[in-house]
């Protein structure tokens, strides 16, 4: 094949099938329309309209993807390529689109509460999330490496801005910078990988690459392998595979929590969609080369993710490492490299995004104003203060731990079945054992929420059982130091917090067993008393000095909203969490529909 | 269905009269507690009292259904009865597949029997609604595990038991409950990890052979799927999960912590019901799927069982806390069950299965009594208790009876099971039986010693003022006492239903498994297997033969009238 001669052709504009890219059009058009409208009207719309319109657009995207899904899975129809074979409209791409749209919908519902707490009412968050989602959709349906790169960049650049969108928090800026620099670096590497792949196969089209490799045996495939490796690195960065994961805990910790909810599921879905399409569709002939590499990456990701999550004291960092470990699971499907493996990965991605959004939404609510209470200690006794919130969090954690009758278990089962089918018994065993390690930190959070005095293991393992309250004290004191800044901020906001009422919040159902009289009393709470609530005995309290202790104490109360906006303050978040919980349990008990959905989401090639 | 003549299917097929009972009673038995639990979580807090009554009513309804099931259960046939099968996840060949045989029917009955007693007899100080709901969910999960004929269904039900148990310990326990709940959960999850992978390997081996994926136990055990070495590995993987749950000797360390930290109801549920999932899993899945590997590796587990008997008993003797003492005595008793199961004789397996039921009833009684002591004295430390007998004679008397049954006094239920186990084991594994018998003596040592320290001696301080059992508490323990005496005096209704299944199991292991066992079997056991083989098509002589042989070989002085029949 003579690659040296560049044919001189007039630029031919391909015929554009607008139906095929309808979901993308809705997202991009919607984003621009919202942006334009808000600029033209001078932000006169109440902030809630941005959320509602984004949710509506997300549903429209979901509907259009569903339409395309039924179109291509119907009896006389089949998947097709569009726009000069740059876009593949197949079950796979439509499933990714639906996943992204569903995540967008949930985040759009839960964001307004957060934005209002932070005093940021503008449309930027929604516009950026829609643009980012359009990039993810593009990545999911890309049938060409250039289109893939386009999607990756649209997805990423919007995410960088979302990570830094909390202008008040230094951590947010740090997260954005870190994410941007590393992300830009990985994009460049990815692009170089595309170039090398193009150089050795003569095409950027995935189907052409696969065809070319199927028909020709490369005598020296070093360049192609290097290209594949660099592309793997690019994707690996996006989905946070070990060893390309270092950015993720920092970015998760620093970014605004709704942005984290969004990126943890959308970026992961898009990255895996690209990874699967490139390696499974375009490079199946190299399988024997990439399979062992992915095996190693998968094992490393599983183990590093779960082991490092155990030692985290910040819930967002913990969930970041847990999401790394989940990435390891999703990768198993691709390592298995059989159709049921791909279906398993898709199923895992789909159900995991609900879990991620659900848990991060709870985290955002617990974090309260300032988005700062992420220490494990903020969750101490949550079940007493906010039973529904605690129950939702417990469900999300149980599902992530892979306990039956949740989608989390079936996801693990699906990929493990694929691995067993491919005779990768060792991988299956390592994966399931790593999920046992992971169960530890999910359970630890559960114990903190449900057994505040019995959770001494959770914060200070060395302390003997006799001094439960003492160790709890130590726990809160140590994390108090970490959140000292938060403490002072909270004190500043005290005036706004005082009129808090339990009835004001959707979650804070009045607790007639009378959770904790002192905690309930804002006047007492303001006086710097740190409390340890013990299950059946009386409440023991101890005065602790320092603003951090106050921050610890006040943390939970901030979930309740100021009385001025009692009604409906967090209804959006509540609906979002409720949807996540419902999906998790319903499809955990009646799994057939979703499992077959993932099975039908086949790749075109 | 399947050809009944195939030796592979012996005792595993679906009984022919299954269709006679149109009502899906097994599904109902699982559904009642499961749905009630869901309803109770949804009930508002204001209806806590109503929720408690609802829970109790639901558990009684479950018991009623389980009792109907036990009465309608045909004693003769060896296969599964009342089978219901519906697709659940068709893509994976997973079905909602329930059925009972002579083993599971009594475990179902025992579970349904204990839960209402626990609900009536234990109390928590707060959030009673969730407490009862968790208890019912635990019951549903255990019942589903006992009746599941689909390996996947078994696994999910087996795993689901962790959630209610975790919350029961973490939210309602005492002492180091956070630590204990996590330790228990992680330990069990660790075991299940191997189980899940092994289940997948078995299912995909079946797929490789037949072309379709299935998790149906009957289908999976109907073929020679696995090479001998693979089967051994898988057997080990399965058995680790069951050994952790039971717990069998080196895997037991979670249990004293969990039993101690759990509330009374939680301890009962953990030790009486959930522990049986482990031993049940061994019988149901190890024996069915890997008969040869089970027979080959039996000596290891026999040894672990004996070590467990002695170790549990010795460690129990030096415990300072009564709940930990019962936990270790439980380890010792589970050791007997393991011994019985792996000795592979008709009597020992029958005894093992009966002992599972007995152990459930006995530990339930013991933990309930300890709960009553705890309510009065707010401690279970032996050093702080003394002379309770004076102030609470009824409590002491009931404790004595339950304790003596646990020691294995003739006429009470513990004796029947342990005796059958020992005599069955003696036939094939003489020395194991001889050593294990000393466990009976040790049981008398640690229980009587503890009894002496707690109930005898001089009552000092608070101990002199404890209240005796209230009428409610007496009503709670009455069914347990009745069951202890009834099984001890008249075990026939139980044995007549367990024995055919146990016989079929031994026979299957002899044919499918290893001829080695056949040679080592001596005396009356050979007769059993011979008779069993002759009576293959006619279940009745089978039972008779089993009973005759039991009767012949039990020394007359110990022979309760029931056994003689």
In a domain, A430, yes or no: yes
Q: Comparing C-alpha atoms, which of B245, B242, B277 is closest to residue B258?
A: B245
Comparing B397 with A3, the larger pLDDT belongs to B397
In a domain, A299, yes or no: yes
Comparing A566 with A186, the larger pLDDT belongs to A186
Of the partner residues B90, B156, B186, the one whose CB lies closest to the CB of residue A440: B186
Phi, psi of A99 (to 5 degrees): -60, -45
Q: Which residue of B has its CA nearest to A587?
A: B89
Three-class secondary structure of residue A183 per DSSP? helix
Q: Flag if B204 and A421 touch (Cβ within 8 Å).
A: yes
Q: What is the mean pLDDT of residues A527-542?
A: 33
DSSP secondary structure code for residue A6 in this structure:
P
Three-class secondary structure of residue A474 per DSSP? helix
Three-class secondary structure of residue B82 per DSSP? strand
pLDDT in tens, B391-408: 888 888 899 999 999 988
Asked if residues B100 and B11 have their Cβ atoms less than 8 Å apart, the reply is: no
Q: Flag if A429 and B193 touch (Cβ within 8 Å).
A: yes
Q: Flag if B167 and A420 touch (Cβ within 8 Å).
A: no
Of the partner residues A425, A457, A512, the one whose CB lies closest to the CB of residue B178: A457
pLDDT at A463: 31
B86 — pLDDT class (breaks 50, 70, 90): confident
CA distance A268 to chain B (A): 26
Contacts of B76 (CB under 8 A, 6+ apart): B500, B539, B540, B542, B543
B508 — pLDDT class (breaks 50, 70, 90): confident
CA distance A307 to chain B (A): 14
Burial class for B557, CB neighbours closer than 10 Å (0-12, 13-18, 19+): exposed
Q: What is the mean pLDDT of residues B162-167?
A: 91
pLDDT at B519 over 70: no
B484 — pLDDT class (breaks 50, 70, 90): very high
3-state helix, strand, coil in chain B (%, to 5): 80, 5, 20
Q: Flag if A439 and B186 touch (Cβ within 8 Å).
A: yes
CA distance B372 to chain A (A): 17
Phi, psi of A15 (to 5 degrees): -70, 130
End-to-end alpha carbon distance in chain B: 35
CA distance A421 to chain B (A): 6
Bridge partners of A142?
Answer: A87
Contacts of A416 in chain B (CB under 8 A): 196-197, 200
B51 — pLDDT class (breaks 50, 70, 90): confident
In a domain, A429, yes or no: yes
A536-550, B143-157, B317-331, B419-433: range with lowest mean pLDDT: A536-550
Three-class secondary structure of residue B151 per DSSP? helix
A533-542, B2-11, B265-274, B440-449: range with lowest mean pLDDT: A533-542
Comparing A4 with B484, the larger pLDDT belongs to B484
In whole angstroms, what is the distance from residue B425 CA to residue B553 CA? 13
Asked if residues A281 and A210 have their Cβ atoms less than 8 Å apart, the reply is: yes
In a domain, A523, yes or no: no
Contacts of A450 in chain B (CB under 8 A): 167, 170-171
* Count helices and strands in chain A by DSSP H and E runs: 26, 4
Q: Comparing C-alpha atoms, which of A549, A107, A163, A161 is closest to residue A364?
A: A107
Q: Comparing C-alpha atoms, which of B39, B279, B274, B36 is closest to residue B161?
A: B274
Burial class for B86, CB neighbours closer than 10 Å (0-12, 13-18, 19+): exposed
Contacts of B164 in chain A (CB under 8 A): none
Bridge partners of A88?
Answer: A81
Contacts of A420 in chain B (CB under 8 A): 197, 200-201, 203-204
Q: Flag if B179 and A465 touch (Cβ within 8 Å).
A: yes
Q: Flag if A451 and B127 touch (Cβ within 8 Å).
A: no
**How many Cβ atoms from other residues are within 10 Å of residue B318's Cβ?**
11
pLDDT in tens, A76-134: 778 888 888 889 998 999 999 999 999 999 999 998 888 888 887 778 899 999 999 99
Which residue out of A338, A341, A393, A446 would a mutagenesis test of the B interface target, given it has the greatest number of B Cβ atoms within 10 Å? A446
pLDDT at A515: 35
pLDDT at B53: 87
Of the partner residues A405, A511, A599, the one whose CB lies closest to the CB of residue B156: A405
CB of A586 within 8 Å of a chain B CB? The answer is no
Domain that holds residue A140: 22-448+574-600
CA distance B259 to chain A (A): 15
In whole angstroms, what is the distance from residue B397 CA to residue A496 CA? 63
Of the partner residues A457, A591, A599, the one whose CB lies closest to the CB of residue B179: A457
pLDDT in tens, B113-149: 999 998 888 777 777 888 888 999 999 999 999 999 9
Read off the tokens for B241: 């999960």
pLDDT at A224: 92
Q: Flag if B175 and A465 touch (Cβ within 8 Å).
A: yes
A478-492, B11-25, B259-273, B319-333: range with lowest mean pLDDT: A478-492
Could you give the number of structural domains in chain A?
Answer: 1
Read off the tokens for A42: 């001078």
pLDDT in tens, A334-379: 999 888 899 999 999 999 999 999 999 999 988 887 777 888 888 8
Of the partner residues A404, A435, A444, the one whose CB lies closest to the CB of residue B156: A404
In whole angstroms, what is the distance from residue B81 CA to residue B193 CA? 30
Q: Which residue of B has its CA nearest to A401?
A: B189
Contacts of B129 (CB under 8 A, 6+ apart): B40, B41, B43, B45, B47, B48, B51, B52
CB of A243 within 8 Å of a chain B CB? The answer is no
Q: Flag if A595 and B185 touch (Cβ within 8 Å).
A: no
In a domain, A201, yes or no: yes
Maximum CA extent, chain B:
73
CB of A67 within 8 Å of a chain B CB? The answer is no
Comparing B21 with B25, the larger pLDDT belongs to B25
Asked if residues B30 and A589 have their Cβ atoms less than 8 Å apart, the reply is: no
- Region for residue A336 given its phi and psi (left: phi exceeds 0; alpha: psi -120 to 50; beta: otherwise): alpha
CB of A376 within 8 Å of a chain B CB? The answer is no
Q: Packing angle between helix A145-163 and helix A170-201, nearest 10 degrees? A: 170
pLDDT at B385: 82
In whole angstroms, what is the distance from residue A307 CA to residue A343 CA? 27
Q: What is the mean pLDDT of residues B108-113?
A: 92
pLDDT at A303 over 90: yes
Q: What is the mean pLDDT of residues A189-203?
A: 93
Of the partner residues A405, A432, A454, the one whose CB lies closest to the CB of residue B177: A454
Contacts of A256 (CB under 8 A, 6+ apart): A114, A118, A162, A163, A165, A166, A169, A172, A371
Q: Which residue has the tokens 């800044």?
A: A485
Of the partner residues B163, B193, B203, the one whose CB lies closest to the CB of residue A403: B163
In whole angstroms, what is the distance from residue B135 CA to residue A113 CA? 37
Q: How many CA atoms lie within 13 A of B163 on its CB side?
A: 26
CA distance B497 to chain A (A): 33
A317 — pLDDT class (breaks 50, 70, 90): very high
Q: Concatenated DSSP letters for B482-521?
A: HHHHHHHH--HHHHHHHHHHHHHHHHHIIIII-HHHHHH-
Q: Which percentage of chain A shows pLDDT scores above 90?
A: 48
pLDDT at B545: 41
Comparing B292 with A197, the larger pLDDT belongs to A197
In whole angstroms, what is the distance from residue A439 CA to residue B514 CA? 40
In a domain, A314, yes or no: yes
Q: Which helix (H) or strand (E) holds B264?
A: helix B264-268
pLDDT at B294: 86
Contacts of B179 in chain A (CB under 8 A): 454, 456-457, 465
CB of A584 within 8 Å of a chain B CB? The answer is no
Contacts of A439 in chain B (CB under 8 A): 185-186, 189
Q: Which residue of B has its CA nearest to A595?
A: B91
B543 — pLDDT class (breaks 50, 70, 90): very low
Q: Which value, in Å, is the radius of gyration of the alpha carbons in chain A? A: 25
Q: Which value, in Å, is the radius of gyration of the alpha carbons in chain B? A: 22
DSSP secondary structure code for residue B408 in this structure:
T
Q: Which residue of A has its CA nearest to B156?
A: A404
pLDDT at A525: 35
Q: Which residue of A has its CA nearest to B124?
A: A536
CB of A421 within 8 Å of a chain B CB? The answer is yes
Contacts of A7 (CB under 8 A, 6+ apart): none
A210-224, A347-361, A405-419, A453-467: range with lowest mean pLDDT: A453-467
Q: Flag if B88 and A592 touch (Cβ within 8 Å).
A: yes
Locate all alpha helices (DSSP H) within B122-253, ordered by sequence: 128-147, 151-160, 162-172, 177-210, 217-220, 228-245
Asked if residues B136 and B37 have their Cβ atoms less than 8 Å apart, the reply is: yes
Three-class secondary structure of residue B14 per DSSP? strand
Q: Flag if A513 and B196 touch (Cβ within 8 Å).
A: no
Comparing A457 with B478, the larger pLDDT belongs to B478
pLDDT at B14: 58
Q: Flag if B160 and A405 touch (Cβ within 8 Å).
A: yes
Comparing A146 with B90, the larger pLDDT belongs to A146
Q: Flag if A413 and B196 touch (Cβ within 8 Å).
A: yes
Q: What is the mean pLDDT of residues B486-507?
A: 87
Which residue out of B30, B92, B193, B256 would a mutagenesis test of the A interface target, given it has the greatest number of A Cβ atoms within 10 Å? B193
Exposure string of A9-46, with b = 16+ CB inside 10 Å and e = fewer, is eeeeeeeeeeebbbbbbbbbebbeebbebbeeeeeebe
pLDDT at A308: 92
In whole angstroms, what is the distance from residue B349 CA to residue B549 CA? 14
CB of A167 within 8 Å of a chain B CB? The answer is no
Contacts of A430 in chain B (CB under 8 A): none
* Mean confidence (pLDDT) of chain A: 79
CB of A447 within 8 Å of a chain B CB? The answer is yes
Bridge partners of B321?
Answer: B381
CA distance A109 to chain B (A): 24
In whole angstroms, what is the distance from residue B297 CA to residue B289 CA? 14
CA distances from A152 to A54, A354, B89, B230 (A): 21, 22, 36, 45
pLDDT at A140: 92
Burial class for A166, CB neighbours closer than 10 Å (0-12, 13-18, 19+): buried
Say what the pTM is: 0.83
In a domain, A483, yes or no: no
End-to-end alpha carbon distance in chain A: 24
Q: Flag if A451 and B166 touch (Cβ within 8 Å).
A: no
pLDDT at A504 over 50: no
pLDDT at A520: 35
Which residue out of A439, A447, A515, A595 would a mutagenesis test of the B interface target, given it has the greatest number of B Cβ atoms within 10 Å? A447
């Amino acid at each position: 094949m003579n690659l040296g001669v560049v044919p001189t052709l007039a630029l031919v504009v391909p015929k554009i099938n607008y139906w095929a890219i309808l979901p993308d059009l809705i997202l991009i058009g919607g984003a621009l329309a919202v942006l334009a409208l808000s600029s033209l009207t001078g932000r006169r719309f109440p902030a809630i309209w941005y959320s509602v319109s984004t949710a509506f657009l997300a549903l429209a995207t979901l509907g259009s993807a569903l339409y395309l899904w039924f179109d291509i899975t119907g009896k006389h129809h089949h998947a097709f390529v569009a726009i000069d074979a740059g876009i593949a409209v197949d079950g796979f791409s439509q499933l990714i689109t639906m996943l992204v749209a569903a995540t967008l919908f949930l985040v759009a519902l839960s964001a307004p509460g957060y934005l209002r707490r932070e005093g940021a009412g503008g449309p930027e968050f929604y516009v950026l999330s829609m643009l980012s989602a359009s990039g993810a959709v593009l990545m999911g349906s890309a049938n060409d490496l250039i289109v893939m790169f386009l999607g990756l960049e649209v997805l990423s650049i919007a995410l960088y801005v979302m990570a830094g969108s909390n202008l008040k928090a230094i951590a947010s800026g740090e997260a954005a910078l870190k994410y941007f620099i590393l992300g830009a670096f990985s994009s460049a590497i990815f692009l170089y990988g595309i170039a090398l792949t193009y150089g050795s196969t003569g095409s950027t089209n995935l189907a052409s690459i696969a065809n070319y490799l199927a028909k020709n045996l490369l005598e020296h495939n070093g360049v192609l392998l290097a290209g594949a490796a660099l592309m793997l690195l690019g994707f690996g960065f996006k989905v946070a595979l070990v060893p390309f994961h270092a950015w993720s805990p920092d970015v998760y910790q620093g970014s605004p929590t709704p942005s984290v909810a969004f990126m943890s599921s959308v970026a992961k879905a898009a990255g895996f969609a690209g990874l699967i399409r490139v390696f499974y569709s375009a490079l199946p002939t190299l399988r024997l080369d990439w399979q062992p590499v992915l095996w190693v990456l998968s094992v490393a990701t599983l183990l590093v993710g779960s082991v490092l999550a155990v030692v985290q004291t910040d819930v967002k960092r913990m969930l970041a490492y847990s999401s790394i470990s989940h990435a390891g699971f999703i990768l198993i499907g691709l390592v298995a490299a059989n159709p049921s493996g791909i279906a398993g990965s898709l199923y895992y991605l789909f159900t995991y995004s609900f879990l991620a959004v659900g848990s991060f939404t709870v985290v955002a609510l617990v974090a309260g104003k300032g988005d700062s209470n992420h220490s494990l200690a903020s969750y101490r006794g949550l079940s007493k203060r906010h039973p529904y919130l605690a129950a939702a969090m417990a469900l999300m954690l149980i599902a992530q731990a892979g306990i039956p009758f949740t989608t989390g278990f079936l996801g693990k089962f699906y990929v493990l079945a694929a691995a067993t089918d491919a005779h990768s018994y060792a991988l299956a065993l390592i994966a399931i054992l790593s999920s046992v390690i992971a169960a530890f930190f999910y359970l630890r959070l559960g114990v903190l929420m449900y057994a505040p005095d019995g959770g001494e293991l959770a914060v200070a393992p060395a302390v003997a059982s006799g001094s439960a309250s003492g160790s709890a004290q130590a726990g809160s004191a140590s994390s108090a130091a970490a959140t000292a800044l938060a403490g002072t901020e909270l004190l500043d906001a005290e005036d706004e917090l005082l009129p808090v009422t339990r009835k004001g919040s959707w979650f804070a159902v009045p607790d007639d067993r009378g959770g904790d009289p002192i905690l309930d009393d804002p006047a007492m709470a303001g006086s710097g008393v740190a409390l340890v609530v013990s299950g059946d005995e009386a409440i023991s309290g101890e005065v602790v000095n320092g603003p951090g202790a106050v921050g610890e104490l006040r943390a939970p109360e901030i979930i309740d909203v100021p009385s001025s906006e009692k009604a409906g303050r967090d209804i959006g978040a509540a609906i979002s969490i409720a949807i996540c919980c419902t999906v998790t349990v319903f499809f955990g008990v009646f799994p057939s529909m979703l499992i077959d959905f993932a099975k039908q989401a086949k790749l075109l090639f | 269905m399947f050809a009944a003549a195939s030796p592979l299917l012996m005792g595993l097929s679906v009984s022919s009269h299954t269709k006679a009972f149109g009502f899906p009673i097994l599904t109902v038995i699982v559904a009642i507690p499961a749905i009630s639990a869901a309803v109770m979580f949804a009930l508002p807090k204001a209806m806590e009292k109503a929720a408690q009554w609802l829970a109790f009513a639901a558990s009684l309804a479950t018991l009623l259904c389980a009792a109907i099931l036990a009465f309608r259960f045909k004693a003769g046939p060896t296969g599964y009865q009342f089978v219901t099968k519906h697709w659940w996840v068709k893509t994976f060949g997973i079905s909602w597949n329930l059925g009972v045989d002579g083993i599971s029917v009594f475990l179902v009955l025992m579970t349904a029997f204990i839960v209402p007693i626990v609900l009536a007899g234990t109390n928590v100080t707060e959030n009673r609604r969730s407490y009862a709901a968790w208890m019912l969910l635990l019951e549903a999960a255990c019942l589903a595990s006992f009746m599941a004929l689909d390996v996947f269904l078994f696994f999910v039900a087996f795993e689901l038991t962790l959630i209610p148990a975790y919350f029961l310990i973490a939210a309602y326990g005492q002492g180091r409950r956070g630590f204990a709940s996590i330790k228990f959960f992680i330990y069990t999850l660790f075991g299940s990890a191997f189980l899940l992978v092994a289940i997948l390997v078995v299912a995909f081996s079946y797929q490789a052979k037949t072309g379709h994926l299935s998790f149906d136990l009957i289908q999976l055990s109907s073929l020679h799927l696995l090479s001998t070495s693979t089967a051994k590995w898988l057997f080990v993987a399965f058995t680790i999960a069951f050994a952790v749950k039971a717990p069998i000797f080196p895997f037991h360390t979670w249990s004293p912590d969990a039993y101690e930290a759990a509330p009374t109801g939680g301890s009962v549920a953990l030790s009486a019901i959930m522990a049986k999932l482990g031993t049940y899993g061994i019988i149901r899945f190890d024996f069915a799927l890997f008969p040869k590997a089970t027979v080959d590796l039996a000596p290891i587990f026999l040894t672990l069982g004996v070590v467990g008997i002695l170790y549990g008993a010795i460690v129990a003797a030096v415990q300072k806390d009564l709940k930990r003492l019962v936990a270790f005595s439980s380890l010792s008793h589970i050791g007997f069950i393991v011994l019985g199961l792996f000795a592979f004789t008709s009597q020992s397996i029958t005894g093992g299965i009966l002992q599972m039921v007995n152990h459930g009833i006995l530990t339930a009684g013991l933990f309930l009594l300890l709960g009553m002591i705890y309510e009065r004295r707010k401690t279970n430390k032996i050093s702080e208790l003394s002379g309770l007998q004076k102030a609470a004679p009824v409590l002491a008397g009931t404790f004595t009876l339950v304790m003596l049954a646990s020691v294995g006094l003739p006429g009470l239920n513990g004796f029947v099971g342990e005796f059958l186990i020992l005599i069955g084991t003696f036939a094939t594994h003489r020395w194991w039986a001889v050593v294990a018998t000393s466990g009976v003596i040790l049981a008398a040592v640690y229980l009587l010693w503890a009894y002496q320290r707690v109930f005898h001696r001089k009552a000092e301080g608070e101990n002199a003022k404890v209240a005796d059992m209230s009428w409610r508490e007496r009503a709670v323990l009455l069914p347990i006492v009745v069951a202890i005496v009834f099984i001890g005096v008249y075990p026939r209704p139980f044995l007549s239903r367990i024995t055919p299944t146990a016989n079929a199991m031994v026979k299957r292991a002899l044919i499918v498994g290893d001829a080695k066992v056949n040679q080592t079997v001596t005396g009356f056991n050979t007769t059993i297997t011979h008779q069993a083989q002759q009576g293959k098509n006619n279940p009745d002589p089978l039972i008779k033969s089993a009973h005759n042989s039991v009767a012949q070989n039990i020394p007359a002085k110990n022979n309760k009238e029931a056994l003689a029949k």
